[in-house]
DNA sequence: TAGATTGTTAATCGATTAACAATC
DNA sequence: TAGATTGTTAATCGATTAACAATC
């Protein structure tokens, strides 16, 4: 069992390696990858060791094979479907941002409660009523939700999603969610992040 | 010197306490605040101790005074000005999200390189050419940047901002930035976060 | 007073780092 | 071979937790 931080780094390595591949790079050593990722070489080596890939002493890692190994580790072979909940400003921006970005992780539906939006195609994604969450999540085999609703209704909406069988939530609502232990929640709290930057920009 | 995590938690406590204040709550104990924030009571007590505020044994913390203490610790008395760089989908969503949210931390300008946007008022915020970054940052006394540009140009834009005297960056571009040691960078990498959720949703 | 809660210490835990033998 | 780099261990570091005396 690997914790959240190494998983995040693997995701980052993959992205960096993919752009190296496009530049025609065949191999890379831990030191170079570490510099690009902003971590230490030892960390890179341990992360790669953890997923069971081995490099070549003297020549480092084969970029293509390493990308493949990371994919085998991170991705579900058959892909995973995502639903975005709350099609406001932020929701629409995220729909546009993720559209086609990762083939094995696609946002296949959106939920909202605004009759103006329901039934429409927004940023290429069909919008449904949150009332039909159960049905849509089952039919489209959705396991992940991206929560972009206002803080006040976040818990209530999360409860609906959990009930419908969601397994993980990416939570943009600026409030901690209470969910059963078997669910994974990752919080992106922009207000908190901005206040952190403000604090450290000031005292350093 | 306090590290990033406790600072983030203080920001969260303040938000929770503010909503308690609106509900007319006078005092709160570490246990209750911890439950709302999703942390342990010991952590709450230590965080509060760290900012020099003292509770009352038997009655807990005075909500109003604690909010004030957190504000004294986190906020610059005169406030801090922020610039948003890259007025795309995400940039506009963030402008809308932060508009008026924290009085001591306001986005007072936006930068872009699209002539269509320059000079206009977008989500209530004036958009300038990135070419005038130096001048605007000085004139408006801006110390913080929110970076919402594409990954490919993120480092280049960051260099311009550093040169112009920015002290902290909230980076939404999915690429690590290399900046001088005295700058604080907080990364919000939505792709990484979504992949983390996908991984843990799958294996648990 | 008795009970509840704080402030603070020591112990624990986990992640990170440094170091180096193994290997191509 | 010699040199560079990996795989892996032990040491370090920092944050978290548990525990409890102090206090209203």
* Residue B179 scores a pLDDT above 80: yes
Least confident of A49-53, B132-136, B159-163: A49-53
Cβ distance B144 to A90 less than 8 Å, yes or no, reads no
Nearest to A97 by CA among A199, A188, A191, A204: A188
Cβ distance A197 to B169 less than 8 Å, yes or no, reads yes
Distance CA A50, CA A44 (A): 10
Cβ-based neighbours of A46, under 8 Å, separated by 6 or more: A6
Q: Which residues are bridge partners to A146 per DSSP?
A: A84, A170
* Residue A5 scores a pLDDT above 90: no
Cβ contacts (< 8 Å) between A148 and chain B: which residues?
Answer: none
Q: Supply A99's token pair.
A: 């559209």
Distance CA B181, CA A89 (A): 34
Cβ contacts (< 8 Å) between A166 and chain B: which residues?
Answer: 201
pLDDT at res. A97: 94
Q: Look up tokens 């130096």; give the residue.
A: B134
pLDDT at res. A1: 63
- pTM, rounded to two decimals: 0.94
pLDDT at res. B1: 64
* Residue B204 scores a pLDDT above 80: no
Residue B137's CB is within 10 A of a number of other CB atoms, namely 23
Q: Which residue is closest, via its CA, to the C1' of D6? A: A57
Query: Distance in angstroms, CA of B194 to C1' of C8?
Result: 39
Distance CA A187, CA B203 (A): 19
* Cβ-contact B135, B83 below 8 angstroms: no
Query: Distance in angstroms, CA of A185 to C1' of C3?
Result: 38
List, as one string, the DSSP characters of B80-110: EEEEEE--SHHHHHHHHHHTTT-TTEEEEEE
pLDDT at res. B108: 97
Cβ-based neighbours of A152, under 8 Å, separated by 6 or more: none
Q: Look up tokens 């975005």; give the residue.
A: A84
Cβ contacts (< 8 Å) between B8 and chain A: which residues?
Answer: 189, 192-193, 195-196
pLDDT at res. B69: 95
* Residue A132 scores a pLDDT above 80: yes
Q: Å from A38 to nearest chain B CA?
A: 6
Report B:156-195 residues touching A (Cβ under 8 A). 166-170, 174-178, 182-186, 188-195
pLDDT at res. A3: 77
- For the segment B186-199, what is each residue's pLDDT rounded down to a tens digit? 999 999 999 999 99
């Amino acid at each position: 069992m690997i914790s959240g931080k190494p998983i995040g780094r693997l995701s980052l390595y993959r992205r960096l390696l993919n752009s190296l591949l496009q530049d025609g790079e065949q191999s890379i050593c831990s030191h170079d990858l570490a510099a690009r990722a902003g971590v230490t070489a030892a960390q890179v080596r341990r992360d790669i060791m953890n997923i069971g890939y081995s490099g070549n002493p003297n020549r480092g890692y084969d970029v293509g094979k390493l990308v493949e190994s990371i994919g085998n580790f991170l991705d579900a072979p058959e892909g995973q479907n995502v639903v975005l909940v709350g099609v406001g400003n932020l929701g629409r921006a995220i729909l546009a941002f993720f559209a086609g970005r990762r083939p094995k992780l696609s946002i296949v539906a959106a939920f909202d409660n605004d009759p103006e939006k329901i039934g429409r195609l927004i940023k290429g994604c069909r919008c449904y009523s949150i009332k039909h969450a159960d049905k849509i999540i089952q039919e489209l085999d959705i396991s992940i939700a991206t929560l972009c609703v206002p803080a006040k209704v976040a818990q209530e909406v999360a409860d609906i999603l959990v009930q419908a069988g969601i397994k993980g939530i990416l939570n943009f609502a600026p409030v901690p969610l209470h969910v059963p232990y078997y669910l994974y929640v990752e919080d992106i709290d922009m207000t908190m992040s901005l206040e952190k930057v403000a604090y450290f920009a000031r005292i350093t």
